[in-house]
A and B are shown apart, each in its own frame.
Chain A
């Protein structure tokens, strides 16, 4: 297949993964104003926990999708705990939140290194998706196509949840005006836990789903976190559409940058972010945060 087509396909796939990762980051920052620097760690933790079941490190093996669901739930629970026990105590103090989440991310990295060691874990492509799908003259790796489909399904699901349910409206009310939301009886603090768990679960899900492509290795967290930051700054925090478009853009910039200007990959990645910060600080789709 043509070099450009491959690059484009990879960009879209990577954009899909980034969306799964950054949607939660964006929600957590948009609703709770918490810059959650553990988001890369949650991605890595999801990948490791999932890999443990897929590879059979505990002496038994699970189907990839079952492992993915288990990893998602486990990391969502970890996220909920971190929110309840730690972040809850630092409302509105972003410097403290940055320091605590940064500290947690270092601890998580150490923990993963201790448990899973320094060697990368390769996760096999789930059964039935190892082949290629043909579209006329193009062939597309089936698993990458599956990732795109999953990202779209999750995007639509999240959109329905946020846009079409009362729970979603309550979350958005909490984003708009947390104090007023509480005044009308919304338990914003419980919503925060739910949103944090949801965001953590999505990051973990992205981690395990991305496993067959990226594999799992120490430092994966620090590779992913900056990408999520760029996506959210480009797209605007709290905006699902912003996350989606931002993810696709970053997917392209990252893949094309690495292929064409490998020495300047980070430059190419962060330049658009700087421009957006200067020219449109609320992001392409974000609302202006006072």
Chain B
């Protein structure tokens, strides 16, 4: 694997006394997409929280492009170029669409090859947000809120993008739109972790697959390998 964009090393994480992640390790290569799968409660979102600095792990470390970020505050992790599209979108509901983007603006790192993301480029990608740029975000539809959450993450000009169940609760047509966007982002060279419960969405786009089962890494593989091996995914993911 080329440069490692993000790696979690031997992470143990707790909520109070409840042990949620046990010795979780995985690695996201630069410009690759890692699909993180697992059924409800497996610990996927907790991996995102640990990576972002929202939850301090008891053991293990998180490394972003060679720099250890464990113990940094979320805003410092963001400054290292990590952005999160959180589960449930969590847009700033009382802000306008444009303000949601503005507050998340961060200049790209020196030497970044890409045109920086600014509000106008986000609007070019999601014309529907452009039409509603003065609206209060709470009034957007679910699909529009998801686009806004993605746009907001991009405003940080991240090197690593974490997406936690971006298809959750969306109509199939909107899911297809969101997945097309994700594909484009990957092609632009962004390193992406895509969390999903539905493996079908991920197998098409991801380079690598990690499956969590009750807080442990159960499978590390690729979509092609998983197809070939005919691994019984229902064991880890439930029935689809």
Contact = CB atoms under 8 A, between A and B. Distances in A.
Nearest to A168: B99
Given A173-B95, A176-B94, A182-B73, 16 more contacts: A169-B99, A169-B103, A170-B103, A172-B92, A176-B93, A176-B95, A180-B92, A181-B92, A182-B74, A182-B75, A182-B78, A183-B74, A183-B75, A183-B78, A183-B83, A185-B104
Interface of B: 52, 54, 73-75, 78-79, 83-84, 86, 90, 92-95, 99-100, 102-104, 106, 152-153, 155-156
Interface residues of A, number: 20
A181 B94 contact: no
Interface string A172-191: 11011101111111111100
Interface in A196-242: none
A287 interface: yes
A134 interface: no
Contacts of A180: 86, 90, 92
B94 A287 contact: yes
Contact of B78 (A166, A169, A185): A185
Q: What's the dominant secondary structure at chain A's contact region?
A: helix
A185 B156 contact: yes
B84 A169 contact: no
Interface string A54-92: 000000000000000000000000000000000000000
A166 B92 contact: no
A238 to B, nearest CB: 9
Given A181-B103, A184-B104, A188-B75, A172 B94 contact: yes
A282 to B, nearest CB: 13
Contacts of A175: 94
B52 A184 contact: no
20 contacts: A166-B102, A169-B102, A172-B92, A172-B95, A173-B103, A176-B92, A176-B93, A177-B90, A177-B92, A179-B74, A182-B54, A182-B73, A182-B75, A183-B78, A184-B152, A184-B153, A185-B78, A185-B104, A186-B75, A188-B75
Nearest to B84: A183
A185 B104 CA distance: 6
Contacts of A188: 75
Nearest to A170: B103
A184 B156 contact: yes
A287 B73 CA distance: 28
Contact of A184 (B54, B78, B93, B94): B78
A175 B94 CA distance: 9
Contacts of B86: 180, 183
Given A169-B95, A177-B90, A185 B54 contact: no
Contacts of A181: 92, 103
Contacts of A179: 54, 74
Nearest to B162: A183
A172 B103 CA distance: 10
A170 B106 CA distance: 13
Contacts of A172: 92, 94-95, 99
Contacts of A187: 75
Contacts of A166: 102-103
B19 to A, nearest CB: 22
Contacts of B94: 172, 175-176, 287
